[in-house]
């Protein structure tokens, strides 16, 4: 196996191993770790249809995480992708309404974050062991709703770790909130901030970049790491399901080996779609990558104009996990289209942090030809949920509906007839109110859990265990803080006096 090392998109700090990159999360210069090259697909396409999820995962992940032994990696994979998922397929592909929905919501918290966050804790603990780390790992996470719960579920009671989650108090769905504040585990801490997701993410990033704070923590036997989608330990497991989906589509006779497909991904922090891009770069036959946004359409504007501009109103939508104006993982794409020029990347990111805006060169823009941005507004999103339900009897959540609507627009605008894989990122049970309102307004006065029962009746899909569990669970986390007090909250939880 050829060793694969990781380097920062901003150029400082030299190269690190995969396990070191996983432990650090973010590079010390504030950049993101990227692999020094993208490995080739380790399978023949014909083989893919015969592989289980776990076999596919091992094949892909061993190419990226070259300092893990086979035993270590297989152990992580077997612990992660077990009966926490409610289907043996782990990520099934469903055909509905002329598209192929890749259901990424069969894990513990019924959203796609489970795909990576069920394995990240094992990758992290293994990485700590490999690097002889004695400190306790403190996972610091900002969430727009789904990451938080998935990370809490993944790390709860994992020895040698603590996890702290900041979420926007008024920016997540009632079910998302209930999922987080009922989280068990001695090592978990959940804080609602008076601000939006970008505030939470900026606060967390600031703590990661604070050397003095790091020293103070080290003195107490702690070190930070990140479970956010900037961690390559999140990104790499996400490449797996695109490769697996392609195999499943072959197996079910939806495509033939080698047939090029398009992929539409409902996008927030740009992690999921970047994983699809990595799968394409590895050699998976993917044509276009369609980046679907909600009304926070900063990425749509970027792909159209080459200008990234976060200076705009932040809009709360029915797809809260995509209510994001700074898509962190985009930096990895910027670095690539800048010809892996860290200086260029760093200066664009400096402009972003200082002015909220940057513009890429014509040459860089030309390198974005594989991508296309589009968006769906709130009305279109609701209509798409209703339409897909009426036409196919298939219920999708608002995030998936954004993608589904965008996919239809793309087809109409371009006439591109290639088969479309749509990343279906959350169970409709996580967003019952928006979903039921879209399907039939008459249920508007019912409470959320009642809506879940109605949804089950009309869709024929049983209420997932993840929802049943939180119906009656006691609230265990009530902490809140101002955006400027996040560091104090962390210190308090860790028992460090400010
Ligand atoms: C996180 C999330 C997204 C956005 O994914 P990114 O990788 O951040 O682009 C979309 N839908 C759902 C349901 C999510 O939880």
Cα–Cα distance for residue pair 398/266, rounded to 1 Å: 10
Nearest-angstrom CA–CA distance, 386 and 375: 18
Separation CA 428–CA 441 (nearest Å): 16
Mean pLDDT taken over the chain: 95
How many angstroms separate the alpha carbon of residue 223 from the centre of ligand 1?
27
Return the bridge partners of 445, or none: none
Distance of CA 377 from the midpoint of ligand 1 (Å)? 17
Looking up tokens 């893919």 gives 48
Q: 466: buried, middle or exposed (CB in 10 Å: 19+, 13-18, 0-12)?
A: buried
Q: Which of 285, 284, 238 lies closest to 265, judged by CA?
A: 238
Helix 398-414, helix 378-392: angle, nearest 10: 90
Q: How far is the CA of 278 from the centre of ligand 1 (A)?
A: 17
Residue 110 Cα to ligand 1 middle (Å): 12
- State both tokens at 131: 């690097």
Q: Using most ligand atoms within 8 A of CB, pick from 294, 321, 422 the residue to mutate for ligand 1.
A: 321
| CB-based contacts of 179, cutoff 8 Å, min separation 6 | 109, 149, 466, 470
Spatial separation of the C-alpha atoms in residues 124 and 120, rounded to whole Å? 6
pLDDT in tens, 112-126: 999 999 999 999 999
Nearest ligand 1 atom to the CA of 144 is 1
Cα–Cα distance measured from residue 237 to residue 217, given in angstroms and rounded to the nearest whole number: 29
Exposed e or buried b per residue across 176-202, where buried means at least 16 C-beta atoms within 10 angstroms of its C-beta: bbbbbbbbebebbbbbbbebbbbbbbb
Between CA 226 and CA 491 the distance in angstroms is 17
Ligand 1 atom with least separation from CA of 400: 11
Q: What is the pLDDT of residues 76-92, one digit of tens each?
A: 999 999 999 999 999 99
DSSP string, 329-361: THHHHHHHHTTS-HHHHHHHHHHHHHHSEEE--
The predicted pLDDT at position 171 comes to 85
User: pLDDT band at residue 465, thresholds of 50, 70 and 90?
Assistant: very high
Residue 204 near residue 140, CB atoms below 8 Å? yes
Q: Determine the distance separating the centroid of ligand 1 and the alpha carbon of 436, expressed in angstroms.
A: 21
Q: Answer whether residue 278 shows pLDDT above 80.
A: yes
- The torsion angles phi and psi of 211, rounded to 5 degrees, stand at -65, -35
Residue nearest ligand 1's atom 15 by CA: 146
Element (H, E) at 375: strand 371-375
Query: Given a cut of 70, is residue 174 above it in pLDDT?
Result: yes
Predicted pLDDT of residue 352:
96
Residue 498 pLDDT: 58
pLDDT of residue 28: 85
The confidence score (pLDDT) of residue 172 equals 86
pLDDT tens for residues 367-376?
Answer: 999 999 999 9
Residues identified as active-site: 113
Pair 169, 480: CB distance under 8 Å: yes
Residue 287 contacts residue 418 (beta carbons within 8 Å):
yes
**22 burial class (0-12, 13-18, 19+ CB within 10 angstroms)?**
buried
Q: Which atom of ligand 1 is nearest to the CA of 113?
A: 15
**C-alpha atoms less than 13 angstroms from C-alpha of 118 in its C-beta half-sphere:** 26
Question: Under DSSP, is residue 89 helix (H, G, I), strand (E, B) or coil?
Answer: coil
Distance (Å) from CA 408 to ligand 1 centroid: 20
pLDDT number for residue 297: 98
This prediction has a pTM of 0.93
pLDDT of residue 407: 97
How many residues in total does the chain contain?
498
Task: Report the C-alpha gap between 190 and 148 in whole angstroms.
Answer: 9
Kindly give the distance from the C-alpha atom of residue 399 to the centroid of ligand 1, in angstroms, as a whole number: 8
Centre a 10 Å sphere on the Cβ of residue 117 and count the other Cβ atoms it contains. 31
The rounded distance, in Å, linking the Cα atoms of 291 and 278 is 14
* Res 497 pLDDT > 80: no
- Which residues does a 6 A CB cutoff place in the pocket of ligand 1? 111-113, 146, 229, 266-272, 321-322, 399, 425-426
Terminal Cα-to-Cα distance of the chain (whole angstroms): 47
Percent of the chain with pLDDT over 90: 88
Strand order of the sheet with strand 480-482? 222-226, 136-142, 161-168, 188-194, 480-482
Which residue's C-alpha comes closest to atom 1 of ligand 1? 321
Q: What is the mean pLDDT of residues 41-57?
A: 97
**Helix, strand and coil in the chain, % to nearest 5:** 50, 15, 35
């Amino acid at each position: 196996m050829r060793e694969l090392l990781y380097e920062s998109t901003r150029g400082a700090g030299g190269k690190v191993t995969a396990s070191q990159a996983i432990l650090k999360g973010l590079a010390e210069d504030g950049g993101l770790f990227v692999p020094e090259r993208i490995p080739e697909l380790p399978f023949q396409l014909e083989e893919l249809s015969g592989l289980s999820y776990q076999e596919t995962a091992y094949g892909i992940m061993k190419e990226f995480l070259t300092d893990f032994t086979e035993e270590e990696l297989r152990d992580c994979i077997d612990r992660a992708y077990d009966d926490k998922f409610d289907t043996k397929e782990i990520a099934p592909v469903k055909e509905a309404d002329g598209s192929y929905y890749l259901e990424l919501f069969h894990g513990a918290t019924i959203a796609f974050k489970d795909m990576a966050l069920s394995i990240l804790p094992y990758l992290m603990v293994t990485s700590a062991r490999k690097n002889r780390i004695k400190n306790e790992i403190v996972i610091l996470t900002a969430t727009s709703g789904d990451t938080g719960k998935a990370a809490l579920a993944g790390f709860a009671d994992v020895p040698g770790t603590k996890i702290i989650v900041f979420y926007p108090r008024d920016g997540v769905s009632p079910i998302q909130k209930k999922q987080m504040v009922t989280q068990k585990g001695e090592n978990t801490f959940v804080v609602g901030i008076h601000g939006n997701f970008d505030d939470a993410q900026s606060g967390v990033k600031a703590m990661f970049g604070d050397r003095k704070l790091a020293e103070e923590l080290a003195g107490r036997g702690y070190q930070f790491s990140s479970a956010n989608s900037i961690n390559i330990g999140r990104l790499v497991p996400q490449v797996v399901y695109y490769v697996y989906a392609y195999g499943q589509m072959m197996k079910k006779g939806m495509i033939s080996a080698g047939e090029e497909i398009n992929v539409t991904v409902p996008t927030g922090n740009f992690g999921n779609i970047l994983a699809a891009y990595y799968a394409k770069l590895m050699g998976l036959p993917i044509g276009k990558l369609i980046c679907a946004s909600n009304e926070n359409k900063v990425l749509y504007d970027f792909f159209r104009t080459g200008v990234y501009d976060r200076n705009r109103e932040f809009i709360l939508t029915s797809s809260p996990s995509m209510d994001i104006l700074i898509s962190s993982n985009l930096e990895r794409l910027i670095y690539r289209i800048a010809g892996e020029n860290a200086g260029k990347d760093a200066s664009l990111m400096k402009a972003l942090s200082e002015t909220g805006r940057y513009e890429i060169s014509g040459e860089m823009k030309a390198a974005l030809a594989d991508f296309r941005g589009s968006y769906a507004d709130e009305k279109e999103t609701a209509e798409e949920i209703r339409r897909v339900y009426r036409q196919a009897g298939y219920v999708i959540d608002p995030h998936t509906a954004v993608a589904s609507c965008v996919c239809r627009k793309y087809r109409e605008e371009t006439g591109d007839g290639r088969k479309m894989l749509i990343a279906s990122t959350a169970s409709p049970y996580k967003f019952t109110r928006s979903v039921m309102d879209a399907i039939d307004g008459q249920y508007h006065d019912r409470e959320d859990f009642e809506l879940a029962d109605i949804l089950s009746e009309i869709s024929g899909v049983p209420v997932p265990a993840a929802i049943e569990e939180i119906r009656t669970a006691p609230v265990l986390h009530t902490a809140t803080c101002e955006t400027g007090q996040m560091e104090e909250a962390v210190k308090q939880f860790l028992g460090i006096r400010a």
